[in-house]
Structure 1
Amino acid sequence: MTDARLFRRPRLNMLLVLFLGLATASAWLSVVYLPTPLVDRMMREDISHEAENWRTRVLYALEGGSLTFERGQLTAADAEWLDEVTTLSDIYRFKLFTADGRVFWSSRPSDVGTVNEKPYFQDVVARGRKYYKAEMKPMEEVDSHLHTEHDHHLPGETLCVAEIYTPVMHDGRFVGAIEFYTDITEMGHIFTERLRNIFLALSSISLLLLLLTSVVIRHAGRTQVRMLRQRALKEREMMDDQMRLAREVRLLGELNEWLQSSRSLGELFEMVGRFMSHILPDCEGSVYVYSNSRDVLMGAASWNGGHHCDHIRAEDCWGLRRGRTYSFGASEVDFPCGHSEAQDDRPSFCFPVLAHGETVGLLHLKARPGLGVEDFRASQKLAQMCAEQISLAIANVQMRDQLHDRSIRDPLTGLYNRRHLTDTLRRLLERSGREDRPLSILSIDVDHFKRFNDTHGHDAGDMVLRAVGKVLEQACDGDETACRMGGEEFMLLLPDLGPEAAALRAEALRHAVEHISVRYGEKTLPRVTVSIGLAMHPDDGAMPQQLMKAADDALYDAKARGRNQVAIAGEETAGADATAPPQEPVQIGKAS
Structure 2
Amino acid sequence: MNTDAGTGRSWFRPAFLAAFLLASLGASFVVVRHAPEPIVCWLLETEFRSLAEKWRTRTLSQLENSTRTFENQILTDTDIQLLSMIPKVSDYYRFTFIDTEGNTFWSSHPDDIGKSDMSHETGQALARGEVVLLHLHVNHGENEEMDGHGVHLYDGDHRTVYEIYVPVMDGDTRLGAVKFHTDVSSIHDIFLDRVSRWISVAVGIILSLMLIAIGLIIRSSRIQLKNLENRTREEREMMQRQMRLAREVRLLGELNEWLQSSRSLSELFDMVARFMLHILPESEGSLYVYSNSRDVLDGSASWNGGSHRDHIHPEACWGLRRGRSYHYGQSEVDFACEHTEPNDGRPYFCFPILALGETVGLMHLKRHADATEEAFEDSRRLAQMCAEQISMAIANVRMRDQLEDRSIRDPLTGLFNRRHMLDSMRRLIAQADGNGSALHTVYIDVDHFKKFNDNHGHDAGDMVLRAVGDLLIKQCDGDEVACRMGGEEFMLLLPNLTLDNLKERIETLRREVTAISVRYGEKALPKITISAGIASYPAHGRMPQDLLRVADEALYKAKDNGRNQVVVAELSEPTEATPQNPPPKKPHSLGAE
TM-score range, shorter chain: 0.3 to 0.5
Tell me the TM-score normalised to structure 2 length: 0.43
